[in-house]
Chain A
Amino acid sequence: MSVYFLCLVLFCIGLYCILRKRNLIKIIIGIAIVEYAVNLFFILVGYRMNGRVPIYSPDQTIRDMVDPLPQALVLTSIVIGLAVTALIAAIAMRVYEKYGTFDITKIKKLKG
């Protein structure tokens, strides 16, 4: 139970960073922290106590393997997280070139 709670605390730190900080890079860092917490939570749910890696070997029984399904999904999620981070960082660099600041309260020349 306490491991789940620590994972939730990590999520909340990232949430605070997203909601409260004004710097674009800090917001990207908050998104990354939230993503780590969610990935870790999936793996924690699928963990079996005293289990072993889900790889077959001839001299061991199947009974006590950890859950392979969350691992496969999180493997997808990690790669997508890298793509998302790269895209946000590229947009933030363009915004910096145009406005000369990362402060989101000063970026308000957008007409629309």
Chain B
Amino acid sequence: MLELQILLVFMIIGALIAVKTKDLLSSVIALGTVGLALSLAFLVLKSPDLAIAQLVVEILCVIILIRATIRKDLPFSTSGRWFVNTLIVLVFIGVFLTFGYFCMKDLPRFGEPEMRIAQTFLSMGLKETGATNLVTSVVLDYRAYDTLGEATILFTAVIAVLAVMRRVGRKK
């Protein structure tokens, strides 16, 4: 899986640039490259539905963030206990990374999933739901209530964004 590792290293470099750049607009665009590389990685990992969804969502996300940051570039303040804060955060992340590395030994090895539940979907999916795309049969049949909850969250978030951004009712 050399191409997957190349994509992951590209994503890590893009994420570092997004974190470290002082200019907010450049940072948002670096985030966009990370998301597009993630879309390619989904395509490499044999999940085209996710690649399409990630592409669309990434473009919308970048548009929203550019709208939020445009003409609002601000200088960064590095006053305060800069060294102590950075040291604490780095120590915490180091401990987290160490424990994560040891926990990864308990995972199934890469490329050999267990698939206890999914074996049923794979063998019975076409017969029970009539969908040739198994991801669709899981989303819209076996876990349809999940999808209903997702739609509820999406529309609730849209209502909340409209409530936060509206202009009327602000003047007394």
Q: Please list the residues of chain A having a beta carbon within 8 angstroms of any beta carbon in chain B.
A: 1-10, 12-17, 19-23, 25-26, 28-30, 32-33, 36, 39-40, 43-57, 62, 65-69, 71-76, 78-87, 89-94, 96, 101-103, 105
Q: Please list the residues of chain B having a beta carbon within 8 angstroms of any beta carbon in chain A.
A: 1, 4-5, 8-9, 11-12, 15-16, 18-19, 24, 27-28, 31, 34-35, 38, 41-42, 45-50, 53-54, 57, 60-61, 64-65, 67-69, 72, 74, 76-77, 80, 85-86, 89-90, 92-93, 96-97, 100-101, 104, 107-113, 115, 117-118, 121-123, 125-126, 132-135, 137-139, 143, 146-147, 150, 153-154, 157-158, 160-161, 164-165
CA distance A90 to B61 in the complex (A): 12
Chain A neighbourhood of B147, CB < 8 A: 76
CB nearest neighbor in A for B11: A10
Q: Which of B28, B110, B165 contacts A94 (CB under 8 A)?
A: B165
- Taking a contact as CB atoms under 8 Å apart, the answer to whether B110 and A1 are in contact is yes
- Taking a contact as CB atoms under 8 Å apart, the answer to whether B19 and A75 are in contact is no
A36 CB to nearest B CB, Å: 5
Tell me whether A79 and B57 are in contact in the complex, defined as CB-CB below 8 angstroms, given that A62-B123, A94-B165, A103-B74 are known contacts.
yes
CA distance A8 to B100 in the complex (A): 8
| Other A-B pairs beyond A26-B27, A47-B110, A74-B47, 5, CB < 8 Å | A3-B5, A3-B110, A12-B93, A68-B125, A103-B74
Chain B neighbourhood of A13, CB < 8 A: 12, 15-16, 19
- Taking a contact as CB atoms under 8 Å apart, the answer to whether A22 and B76 are in contact is yes
Chain A neighbourhood of B157, CB < 8 A: 83-84, 86-87
B168 CB to nearest A CB, Å: 15
A-B CB pair tally, cutoff 8 Å:
236
Tell me whether A14 and B110 are in contact in the complex, defined as CB-CB below 8 angstroms, given that A29-B31, A53-B48, A92-B68 are known contacts.
no
- Taking a contact as CB atoms under 8 Å apart, the answer to whether A9 and B110 are in contact is no
Tell me whether A55 and B100 are in contact in the complex, defined as CB-CB below 8 angstroms, given that A62-B123, A89-B68 are known contacts.
no
CA distance A20 to B147 in the complex (A): 35
Tell me whether A6 and B86 are in contact in the complex, defined as CB-CB below 8 angstroms, given that A16-B19, A82-B61, A85-B64 are known contacts.
no
